[in-house]
């Protein structure tokens, strides 16, 4: 199965486009989990146990683990083991390097940590991306238009008749010979999301920026879903993982997303 087929399957089975971002900050983890001696693992296991039947994926931003040194990587490894095997695990490292170095990153992420997908920064071009797209069953989400304010500095520069992020989308489509390349598009740009979906009707889109960053959920669903009402992964982090009732908050989101999804023509 290609990565896209795997994504379609889990989204259908769970009836969910929801992806939860497991980016724990130690200070925000409840005291009783702090006492376990492995607060990050305890916290992640709690979120996973509460939500794994209603999400299609979990996204782990590597920055939140690497900042703790070797112990952080161990906590990441343990957290990954807690997830059911059919939910997709995304290693959000935004890595990129020249070919022979990128191979080491790909090896770490896909072989070592066994992620099902990763995020990749496109700035260094084809040979820097190639090591991440060699595995048909594993996905590579290319940063196209990110959710942060700085996205405008380069991504929205005009290259001829196109914005730079559109050139990235064009290139990502060429890289997608194995049906395993996706795009990262921020929910903070709904208009651009619609245009990108039109240009890439059949590629997975990983969408951060809903929740704490202020992206509109309804527009995200309407503009981001493929015609089959799937292939969109709506990532929500802080507003779910620190909620008083994690499961209720995630369920509410799943339901809301599916309501908007069902309203689509």
Catalog residues that contact its own copies under the rule CB under 8 A: 23, 61, 63-64, 66-67, 69-71, 73-74, 77, 94-99, 101-102, 104-105, 107-108, 112, 121-129, 143, 146-155, 157-160, 164, 167-168, 171
For its own copies, which is the closer residue by CB, 67 or 259? 67
The residue annotated as part of the active site, out of 28, 94, 156, 167, is 94
- Kindly tell me which of 213 and 255 has the beta carbon lying closer to its own copies: 213
Provide the minimum distance between the beta carbon of 211 and its own copies in the complex, in angstroms, as a whole number. Answer: 13
To the query of whether residue 4 is one of the catalytic residues in this protein, the response is: no
98/264 with CB nearer its own copies: 98
Shortest distance in whole angstroms from residue 214 CB to its own copies: 13
* Minimum distance, C-beta of residue 153 to its own copies, in the bound complex (Å): 3
- Write a three-state SS string for the chain: CCHHHHHHHHHHHHCCCEEEECCCCHHHCCHHHHCCCCHHHHHHHHHHHHHCCCCCEEEEECHHHHCCHHHHHHHHHHHHHCCCCCCEEEEEEEECCCHHHHHHHHHHHHHHCCCCEEEECCCCCHHHHHHHCCCCCCEEEEEEECCCCCHHHHCCCEECCEEHHHHHHHHHHHHHHHCCEEEEECCCCHHHHHHHHHHCCCCCEEECCECCCCECHHHHHHHHCCCCCCCEEEEECHHHHCCCCHHHHHHHHHHHHHHHHHHCC
CB nearer its own copies, residue 84 or residue 112: 112
7/75 with CB nearer its own copies: 75
Tell the smallest beta-carbon distance from residue 255 to its own copies (Å): 28
Query: Taking the complex as a whole, how short is the minimal distance between the CB of residue 123 and its own copies, in angstroms?
Result: 4
Residue with tokens 């040979």, as numbered in its chain: 127
Active site residues: 94
């Amino acid at each position: 199965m290609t990565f896209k087929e795997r994504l379609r399957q889990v989204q259908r089975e769970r009836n969910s486009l929801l992806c939860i971002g497991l980016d724990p900050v130690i200070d925000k983890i409840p005291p009783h989990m702090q006492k376990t001696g492995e607060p990050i693992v305890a916290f992640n296991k709690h979120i996973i146990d509460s939500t794994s039947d209603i999400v299609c994926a979990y996204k782990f931003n590597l920055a939140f683990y690497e900042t703790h040194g070797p112990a952080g990587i161990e906590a990441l490894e343990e957290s990954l083991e807690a997830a059911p095997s059919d939910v997709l695990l995304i290693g959000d490292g935004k890595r990129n390097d020249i070919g022979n170095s990128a191979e080491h990153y790909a090896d770490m992420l896909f072989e070592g940590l066994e992620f099902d997908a990763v995020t990749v920064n496109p700035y260094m071009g084809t040979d820097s991306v190639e090591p991440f797209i060699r595995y048909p069953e594993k996905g590579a989400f290319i940063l196209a238009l990110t959710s942060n304010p700085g996205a405008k500095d380069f991504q929205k520069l005009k290259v001829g008749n196109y914005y730079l992020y559109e050139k990235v989308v064009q290139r990502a489509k060429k890289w997608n010979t194995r049906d395993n390349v996706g795009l990262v598009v921020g929910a903070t740009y709904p208009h651009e999301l619609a245009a990108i979906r039109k240009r890439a009707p059949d590629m997975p889109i990983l969408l951060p920026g809903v929740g704490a960053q202020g992206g509109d959920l309804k527009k995200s669903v309407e503009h981001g879903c493929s015609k089959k009402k799937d292939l969109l992964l709506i990532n929500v982090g802080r507003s779910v993982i620190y909620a008083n009732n994690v499961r209720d908050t995630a369920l509410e989101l799943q339901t809301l997303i599916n309501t908007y999804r069902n309203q689509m023509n």
